[in-house]
Amino acid sequence: MELSQFIMQFVNGLNVGSIYALIALGYTMVYGIAKLINFAHGDLIMVGSYGVFYFYTVLKLPLWIAIVLAILLCVILGALIEKIAYKPLRKASKISLLITAIGMSYLLQSTFQLIFTANPKVFPNFINLPALKLGDILIGANYYLTFLISIFLLIALNILVKHTKVGRAMRAVSQDAGAAQLMGIDVDKTISITFMIGSGLAAIAGILYCCLYPVVSPYLGAVPGIKAFIAAVLGGIGSIPGAVLGAFILGMVEVMSKAYLSSALSDTIVFSILIIMLIFKPSGILGKNLKEKV
Amino acid sequence: MLKVKDLAVKYGMIEAVKGVSFQVKKGEIVSLIGANGAGKTTIMHALSKLIDYEGEVFLEDKNISKLKAFQIVKESLAQVPERRRVFSDMSVEENLKLGAYLNSNNQEIQSDMEKVYKYFPRLSERKNQLAGTLSGGEQQMLAMARALMSRPKILLLDEPSMGLAPLLIKEIFNIIQEINKNGTTILLVEQNAKMALAISDYAYVLETGKIILEGSGKQLSDSQEVKKAYLGG
Ligand SMILES: Nc1ncnc2c1ncn2[C@@H]1O[C@H](COP(=O)(O)OP(=O)(O)O)[C@@H](O)[C@H]1O
Ligand SMILES: [Mg+2]
């Protein structure tokens, strides 16, 4: 069945894309507001997944409590990382920030390796909803749930950023932090909130990712993290719609190239797209030409 | 209203402002004039705590030198920064809402918006237009309107005339006087000394980070020194 095969892959691409989108939003929002590539962001995916594994499988807490706790854990961790590692460096050079971010990523990975060892753990399978039947195509519950939850979160985030006071403050700080302060906006608090939102989304993305690929390891965040980062750059780092668009393009390209070309070449194709983009339009699909602000 | 004592600012090794003291009395328009690079913007940034400084600043007898930038706005000091710095990717209305960021009473925000639209009718016709697409004069008006949305007791204006045509400058200066008449104290920074002195109750002349002269607007416009250096003879 050529067509049903294609539809399956398409659904798959949408799923991978929506997970990348949730992660890419964290990169792009944090970059927009703090002009920082938070390389530890990908590892929060891992923290969120271990959170559910620990609270649900080990402590046997009810599922929804385990999920809420895992998300909270990431939100708090995200805020702490910002406060301890990045805030003292706000006036430092870009390269110091970058090195700190990479260091933070390794720190998280090794901490979780110390706690949980390097042996992968099996992520609990807790979705027991029926599959969706479209003619002779079956779409598993984890697939359509991932997609629906991501879309819901993307819409909620869009409303938050566009139509609330917090969102307006976030946009103001990312456009001109000095002018934002003249409005009475607390820049530190706004940056903190941005890290918290990004980290919460990363936690959810991590949980959804593990519903599709149910294995948790300390390095779990590395691959989806870097892919989402590429998506954010592709879409134009700093741009929220850009990150979402970039993520869906990337997810689709990855899945389709795996299905119809070769799974070995899939990553090569993804990275080539990034390189071509960086050569011809370094600011990304929806990105603006970056100007420095005083 | 505003008292500044021995304010000094350094950028690394460079002393941009070398201990200046001045005051702005309640209800007055006071201006700070000086050539490009004299340190005017640096003083304005210091007063809003966009940069750190030495010395002390009192707002209605309260020492505000230790406050953070966003807390100073709470003390009813607002600034229209040099080059406007409107949020260009946001609409006129969103810019105004940001000006009212510290006010959580929506009814007050609405009525304040009506008020600022009365000062600047042109903005009300462009409510939903992105600020970045406004002309220079309109952006200046938006920056002023945005600052007024925080209900300031004292308004700092940094070169409102910059890059504007003479007719527009006149319009802007008329509005500044009107805002002042309605009860807002004004500290105005200008390179355009003639216009500034004409509307000022009192003025200070700044040269390479120091105040070298002060007096009423009239005294300074008549002074030989000022005429020679800033009013073109
Ligand atoms: N961010 C900065 N870093 C270093 N020097 C600066 C900076 N901003 C201003 N200066 C210097 O401080 C002095 C005063 O500048 P400024 O306050 O902008 O003057 P004005 O507003 O009167 O034109 C100038 O010599 C300027 O070069
Ligand atoms: Mg200046």
In a domain, A136, yes or no: no
In a domain, B197, yes or no: yes
Q: Find the residue in B nearest to A288 (Cα).
A: B89
Chain A neighbors of B90, CB-CB under 8 A: 168, 171-172, 175
Asked whether the predicted pLDDT for residue A199 surpasses 60, the reply is yes
> What is the pLDDT, as a whole number, of residue B224?
87
**Torsion from C-alpha of A170, A171, A172, A177, nearest 10 degrees:** 70
Provide the domain limits for residue A259.
Answer: 3-125+142-280
In a domain, B2, yes or no: yes
Q: Residues near A18 by Cβ (< 8 Å), separated by ≥ 6? A: A146, A147, A150, A151, A154, A208, A247, A248, A251
Q: Give pLDDT tens digits for A28-48.
A: 999 999 999 999 999 999 999
> What is the pLDDT, as a whole number, of residue A293?
39
Asked whether the predicted pLDDT for residue A136 surpasses 90, the reply is no
* Nearest ligand 1 atom, CA B12: 4
Q: Find the residue in A nearest to B96 (Cα).
A: A183
Asked whether the predicted pLDDT for residue B67 surpasses 60, the reply is yes
Residue among A138, A112, A123 at smallest CA distance from A57:
A123
User: DSSP letters of B65-111?
Assistant: TTS-HHHHHHTTEEEE-TT----TTSBHHHHHHHHTTT---HHHHHH
CB contact under 8 A, B90 and A172: yes
> How does the average pLDDT of chain B come out, rounded?
96
| Mutation for testing the A interface, residue in B92, B98, B102, B156 having most A CBs under 10 Å | B98
Q: Give pLDDT tens digits for A138-152.
A: 888 988 999 999 999
Among the partner-chain residues B73, B86, B87, the one whose CB lies closest to the CB of A184 is B73
| Average pLDDT of the residues in B151-180 | 97
> What is the pLDDT, as a whole number, of residue A290?
54
Is the Cβ–Cβ distance between B75 and B67 less than 8 Å? yes
CATH of the domain at A184: 1.10.3470
> What is the pLDDT, as a whole number, of residue A289?
61
In a domain, B118, yes or no: no
Q: Does B105 touch chain A (CB under 8 A)?
A: no
The number of distinct structural domains making up chain B is: 1
pLDDT band at B227 (very low <50, low <70, confident <90, very high): confident
Task: With both helix axes pointing from N to C terminus, report the angle between B166-181 and B136-148 in degrees, rounded to the nearest 10.
Answer: 10
CA angle (A84, A88, A89) in 5-degree steps: 115
Provide the domain limits for residue B52.
Answer: 1-76+154-163+186-233
Write down the H helix ranges in chain B: 40-47, 69-74, 92-99, 106-119, 121-124, 136-148, 166-181, 193-199, 217-222, 224-230
Among the partner-chain residues A169, A178, A184, the one whose CB lies closest to the CB of B50 is A178
At B85, list the tokens: 């710095």
B226 to chain A, closest Cα gap in Å: 32
Asked whether the predicted pLDDT for residue A135 surpasses 90, the reply is no
> What is the pLDDT, as a whole number, of residue A107?
97
CATH of the domain at B2: 3.40.50.300
> What is the pLDDT, as a whole number, of residue A292?
40
In a domain, A107, yes or no: yes
Poorest-confidence range of A104-108, A247-251, B109-113, B224-228? B224-228
Q: Is A285 exposed, middle or buried (0-12, 13-18, 19+ CB in 10 A)?
A: middle
> What is the pLDDT, as a whole number, of residue B233?
58
In a domain, B116, yes or no: no
CB contact under 8 A, B146 and A185: no
Poorest-confidence range of A5-19, B15-29, B129-143, B219-233? B219-233
Q: Give pLDDT tens digits for A167-188.
A: 999 999 999 999 999 999 999 9
In a domain, A253, yes or no: yes
CB contact under 8 A, B78 and A175: no
Count of other CB atoms within 10 angstroms of residue B174:
11
Alpha-carbon distances, residue B202 vs A280, B25, B221 (angstroms): 56, 9, 11
> What is the pLDDT, as a whole number, of residue B188?
98
In a domain, B52, yes or no: yes
Among the partner-chain residues A168, A175, A182, the one whose CB lies closest to the CB of B79 is A182
ipTM confidence score: 0.96
In a domain, B193, yes or no: yes
- Amino acid of residue A198: G
> How does the average pLDDT of chain A come out, rounded?
93
> What is the pLDDT, as a whole number, of residue A137?
85
> Which neighbouring-strand residues pair with B14?
B11
| Average pLDDT of the residues in A256-276 | 92
Is the Cβ–Cβ distance between A250 and A234 less than 8 Å? yes
pLDDT band at A128 (very low <50, low <70, confident <90, very high): confident
In a domain, B103, yes or no: no
Q: Residues near B216 by Cβ (< 8 Å), separated by ≥ 6? A: B200, B201, B202, B203
pLDDT band at B226 (very low <50, low <70, confident <90, very high): confident
At A117, list the tokens: 């060892």
Chain B neighbors of A186, CB-CB under 8 A: 68, 70
CB contact under 8 A, B81 and A186: no
| Average pLDDT of the residues in A209-229 | 95
Asked whether the predicted pLDDT for residue A56 surpasses 90, the reply is yes
Classify each residue of A153-162 as buried b or exposed e, where b means 16 or more C-beta atoms within 10 Å of its C-beta: bbeebeeebe
Rounded Cα distance between A131 and A143, Å, is 9
The number of distinct structural domains making up chain A is: 1
> What is the pLDDT, as a whole number, of residue A219?
96
